[in-house]
Structure 1
Amino acid sequence: MKIKNTGSKIKVLLLITGSIAAVRIPLLVSQLAKENYEIRCVLSKNAEKIIKPLSLSILSRNSCVLEDDQWLNSQSSPLHIELSNWADILIIAPLTATTLSKWVTGNAEGLIPSILIANIKPIIVAPAMNTQMWLNKAVQKNYDNLQTYENLLSLHPSEGLLACDAIGIGKLPPNDLIQLALEFIASHNENPYRKDLLNKDILITGGCTSEKIDAARHITNKSSGALGLLLSQVARFRGARVTYLHGPLKIDKNLTDGIKRYEIETSFDLIRALNNEISNCDYFFMNAAVSDFKMASDTSSKIPKNKINDHLNKNFELVPDILKEISEFKKDNQVFVGFCAYTGSIEEARIIVKEKISKKGCDYLFANPIDLEGQGFGSLAKNEGWLFDTKNMEYYISKTSKIDLANKLITKIIAVKK
C-alpha cells in the first residue's frame, strides 16, 4: 500500500542484521525513500556479507552506518546514542536470534544491540530465521519477553518457502506490511503508540458479498475490503486478537499477513461465519458491504438474455439486515459498530443515520461519503466521516488516509465509556 507522506520527513533508523532475508531490505529502503521518509541504515557485520553498504547509501540518500563506525576517532558523541536520538521511529528487519538474545538480556556488544538497548522511540520488529531456530524454546522465551516492551510493534514471521528450501514459519514479513506498520506508528503524531487493546478480541467484517443470479452472472458492489483490513491490522498492532471475515479482496494480499481471516462469498456465508464468531468478541465492526439483493431460487445454467428479465422479476428478494439480526444476540459487555456509506450532504445523511443506529441495535455508526473526489473505494482512496452514537455524539474525522482513519476511529470508540 502506498500512502504518500506529504508532511515533514519522518526519520526512520533501519537496523539490518545477518539473516539471508536481508536481501529484501534494499527494496524496502527504496520503497520508503520514494514515500518521503528519511532513512538511515545500520548494518551488522554479518549483514555486510549479504548486502552492499553502497547500495543502501545510494537508495537511502544517506551514508550507511557500519559496525566499525561505532568507535571512530571522529565521533564527538557515542554513535549508538546519536542514532537513537536522531530517529523518530526505528525498524529492525530482519531480527536474528542472536540479536534478539543480546537485546532482551541487556548485552550491548555491537552497535545494533547498543542502539536497541538505548532506544526509547517506537520500534517495529520483523524477525526472520529458519523454522527450527524460530521454534526453539530459548528463542520463543526471548521473543515473549520482548512483547512486554511498551514501545515495540512486533510483526510475526510469515509462513512459506524459506532460504533453506524448507516450508514453514520464519520468513521476513512482507515489505508492504512493514511499511503499513510504519504508517500506523507515524499516524499517532503527538500521541505515543501503545498496546491498549491487549487481551481484547475484535471481530471485523469487510469487503463485498456476491449473490449468484445464474451460472454466469452475479450481484455485488465496489467494496475493496481495504478499510476492514486496515481496521484489522490497526487492532492487531494495538495488541488485540483479531478475526477478519471478508469477501474477495481487491487490494494487496501481502497486507493480510498476520491476520486470522476467513473469506466468504454470499450473505448466507457471512451470517454463518458471524454466528460462529460473534459470542467471543469484545468489539464487533460490521464493515462488510452486503449485497442488498439475492435470488430466491438457484440455477446451475445460464439464463438466456431474452428470459433474464422474467427470471429476475420472479426471484429477486431482499437480503436480511445482518447487523440488525446479529445485534439481537449482543451481550452487555460487547460493543457493536456499524458503517453507512452515503451520498449527498451530511445534513440529509444525519436523518438516515439516526434511524439506522436505532433500527440496527448497534452502539455506534460511522457514516462516510463516497461521492466526493478522491474518496470512497480502494486502498488508495482517502476518507472522512462522522461517528454517531445512540445519544447525541457526532465525532468528525477529517479527510485522511484509510490507515489513519482506522486508527482514529478505533481510538475514539475504545475511549468512550458505554
Structure 2
Amino acid sequence: MKTKKTDSKKNILLLITGSIAAVRIPLLVSQLAKENYEIRCVLSKNAEKLIKPISLSILSRNPCILENDQWSHIQSTPLHIELCNWADIVIIAPLTATTLSKWVTGNADGLIPSILMANIKPIIVAPAMNTQMWLNKTVQKNYENLQNYENVLSLLPSEGILACDAIGIGKIPPNDLIQLALEFIISHNQNLYRKDLINKEILITGGCTSEKIDAARNITNKSSGAMGLLLSQVARFRGAKVKYIHGPLKIDQDLTDGIKRYEIETSDDLIRAIKNEISDYDYFFMNAAVSDFKINSNTSAKIPKNKINDHFNKHFELVPDILKTISESKKANQVFVGFCAFTGSFEEARETIKEKIIQKGCDYLFANPIDIAGQGFGSLSQNEGWLFDTKSMEHHIKKTSKIDLANKLITQIISGIK
C-alpha cells in the first residue's frame, strides 16, 4: 500500500527463508526501497537456491547477507547481534515450517534463527508453505506458541493456488499487506507494539451503499471503503477478532487479506447484516457512508428522462438513520463509534456534531473534513478529524495517513474507556 514517504528512514531487516514464495520478495524489496526505507536482506541457504543475492543487493542498495557470513573474520561483533542492533523492524518473509520450529524451540542453528532469538524489536511474520504442512499439528502448535511473543505481528497465510498446483491455505500474504503491517508498526512511534485487543470482538462497517433508481441508474456516494478496511486491519493487528461489513470496495483487494468480511449493496442489506451480528461484539464502528435517499419503487424498466422528475416525486424517501436504530438495542458493555463527514470550518460544525452524538446514541463520534485537498476519499488520501464523546472530549488527530489515523483513533477510544 503506497502512502506518503517516511519522514526519516527506518531500518528494515528482511529475513528470507527457503519457500518458493521467496521469489516474490524482490518485488517487496523494490517496493520498500521506493518508499524510503533502509533495507538489509538476509538469505537462508535454501532461499539462495531460489533468488539471486545480487538481485537483492541491487534492489536494496545494500549488500545481501548470506548464512556463510555469520562468522566472517571481518566482523568485529557477532553478525546476528550487529543486525539486531541495526534494525528498527524485522520482517521474516517467507517463514517456513523449519525456521518456525527452530525459533520457538530455541534452536539457534544458523544465522536467521540466531537473529530471531536475539531480536527484541517488532517483527512481522509472513508464513508460506504447503497446505498440509501448514495444517500439521506440530506446525500449528509452534505457530500458536509464536502468538505469545509480544513483539510479533503475525500475518496468516493466504488461500489460493499454491506452487504444487493445489488450492488451499499456505500462500505468502500479499506484499501490500506486509507493507501495511510495517506502516502500522511505524505509526506507534516510540511506543511498543502491543496486542491490546486480544479477546475483543469488533464489528466495522465501511464503504458506500447504493440505492436503485431504475434499471439503469442508482444513488450512491464517493466512499471507497478504505477507512473502514484500515480500521479493520489495525484492530486485527492489535489482536481483535474482526468482521467488516462493506459496500463495493474501490481499493487494492490485497489489503482485505486476512479480514473476515461481508459485502452489501443497499441500506436495507446493511442494517439487516448489522442486526444479525451486533449482539456478539464488544465494539461497533459505524463507518459506512449510507446513501441518504432511496426510491421505494422496484421497477425493472429504465425511466425515460422526461418522466424522471415524476418518478422521484412519487417514490422518493429518506433512508432511516441506521446508527440511531442500532443504538436503541445497545448493551451496557458495548462501545459504539459513529463517523461524520463535514465541510466548512470545524468551529461552525462543532455544535452540529455535538447534537449528532446524542441523537445517534453512540459513545463516540469522529468528525472529519472532506473539502480539503488531499483529504477524504480513497486509500491514498490523508485525513484528520476530531473525536467527540458524550461529555466534553474533543480530541484532535492531526492530518496523517489513514493507517496512522485508524491506529490513533482506536488507541484513543480504548484509553477513554479504561
With structure 2 as the length reference, what TM-score do the two structures score? 0.99
Q: Distance in 2 between matches of 1:407 and 1:205?
A: 16
Sequence identity, in percent? 83
Matched, 1:181 2:181: yes
CA contact (8 A) 2:366 2:385 kept: yes
Q: What is aligned with 1:204?
A: 204
Residues 67 and 110, structure 1, Cα contact 8 Å, conserved in 2: yes
Q: Pairwise mapping of residues 163-182 of structure 1 onto structure 2 (< 5 A)?
A: 163-182=163-182
Contact in 1 for aligned 2:89/2:122 (Cα 8 Å):
yes
**Matched residue of 1:336: which SS?**
strand
Query: Which residue is equivalent to 1:344?
Result: 344
The secondary structure found in structure 2 opposite 1:71 is coil
Say what the alpha-carbon RMSD is for the aligned residues.
0.6
CA distance in 1, matches of 2:327, 2:175: 38
Number of the residue aligned with 2:107:
107
3-state SS of 2:70 partner: helix
1:93 matched to 2:88? The reply is no
Q: What one-letter code is carried by the residue in structure 2 that aligns with 1:256?
A: T
Q: For 1:124 and 1:24, locate their aligned partners in 2 and report how far apart those are by CA, in whole Å.
A: 16
Q: Which amino acid in structure 2 is aligned with residue 241 of structure 1?
A: K
Q: Is the CA contact (8 Å cut-off) linking 1:215 and 1:301 kept in structure 2?
A: yes
Q: Deviations over 1:325-368 (max 9, x none)?
A: 00001000000000000000111111111110000000000000
Please tell me the residue identity of whatever aligns with 2:182. Answer: L
Aligned to 1:299: 299
Task: Give 1:42's aligned residue.
Answer: 42
1:53-68 matched pairs, under 5 angstroms: 53-68=53-68
Counterpart position of 2:118: 118
CA distance in 1, matches of 2:14, 2:371: 40
Paired residue type of 2:263: E
Distance 1:3 1:213 in 2: 36
Q: State the distance in 1 between where 2:316 and 2:322 align.
A: 18
The residue number in structure 1 matching 2:216 is: 216
Name segments (4+ residues, structure 1) moved above 2 Å: none
Map 1:227-246 → 2, pairs under 5 A: 227-246=227-246
Partner SS state of residue 269, structure 1: helix
Amino acid at match of 2:33: A
User: Distance in 2 between the 1:14 and 1:316 partners?
Assistant: 57
Aligned to 1:329: 329
Alpha carbons 1:4, 1:36 under 8 Å: kept: no
Aligned length: 418
Report the equivalent of 2:387. 387
Cα deviation, 1:134-171, whole Å, max 9, x if unaligned, reads: 00000000000000000000000000000000000000
Matched ranges for 1:6-25 at <5 A? 6-25=6-25
Residue number in structure 2 paired with 1:399: 399
Number of the residue aligned with 2:353:
353
1:7 Cα deviation after fit: 1.1
CA distance in 2, matches of 1:381, 1:4: 9
Task: Tell me how far 1:296 sits from its aligned partner.
Answer: 1.2
2:167, 2:364 → 1: CA distance? 43
| Structure 2 residue 281 is the aligned partner of structure 1 residue 288 | no
Instruction: Determine the C-alpha separation between the residues in 2 that align with 1:72 and 1:317.
Output: 75
For structure 2, the 5+ residue unaligned runs are none
Deviations 1:25-76 (A, max 9, x none): 0000000000000000000000000000000000000000000000111110
Structure-2 residue corresponding to 1:372 = 372
**CA drift at 1:317:** 0.1
For residues 252-291 of structure 1, what are the structure 2 equivalents within 5 Å? 252-291=252-291
Residues 6, 37 of structure 2: 8 Å contact kept: no
**1:388, 1:226 → 2: CA distance?**
22
Separation (CA, whole Å) in 1 of partners of 2:215 and 2:50: 52
Whichever residue aligns with residue 138 of structure 1, its letter is T
Matches of 2:210 and 2:232 in 1, distance apart? 22
| Cα separation, 1, equivalents of 2:217 and 2:298 | 12
Residue in structure 1 matched with residue 319 of structure 2 by the alignment: 319
**Cα deviation 1:290-336 (Å, max 9, x = unaligned):** 00000111101111111111101110100000000000010000000
Distance (whole Å) between structure 2 residues aligned to residue 28 and residue 126 of structure 1: 12
Asked whether the equivalents of residues 340 and 353 of structure 1 are also in contact (C-alpha less than 8 Å), the reply is: yes
Contact 2:4 2:401 (C-alpha < 8 Å) held by counterparts: no
Please give the per-residue CA displacement for 1:98-144, whole angstroms capped at 9, x wherever unaligned.
00000000000000000000000000000000000000000000000
1:413 is aligned to 413
Q: Distance in 2 between matches of 1:38 and 1:313?
A: 61
- Matching of residue 29 in structure 1 with residue 29 in structure 2: yes
For 1:327, the aligned partner's letter is S
Gap regions ≥5 residues in structure 1: none
Give distance in 1, aligned partners of 2:349 and 2:283: 25
**Superposition deviation, residue 5 in structure 1:** 2.5
The Cα of 1:411 is off from its aligned counterpart by 0.1
- The TM-score with structure 1 as length reference comes to 0.99
Q: What are the Cα deviations for residues 231-275 of structure 1, in whole angstroms up to 9, with x where unaligned?
A: 000000000000000000000000000000000000000011001
> 3-state SS of the aligned residue for 2:417?
coil
Q: Secondary structure at the match of 2:384?
A: strand
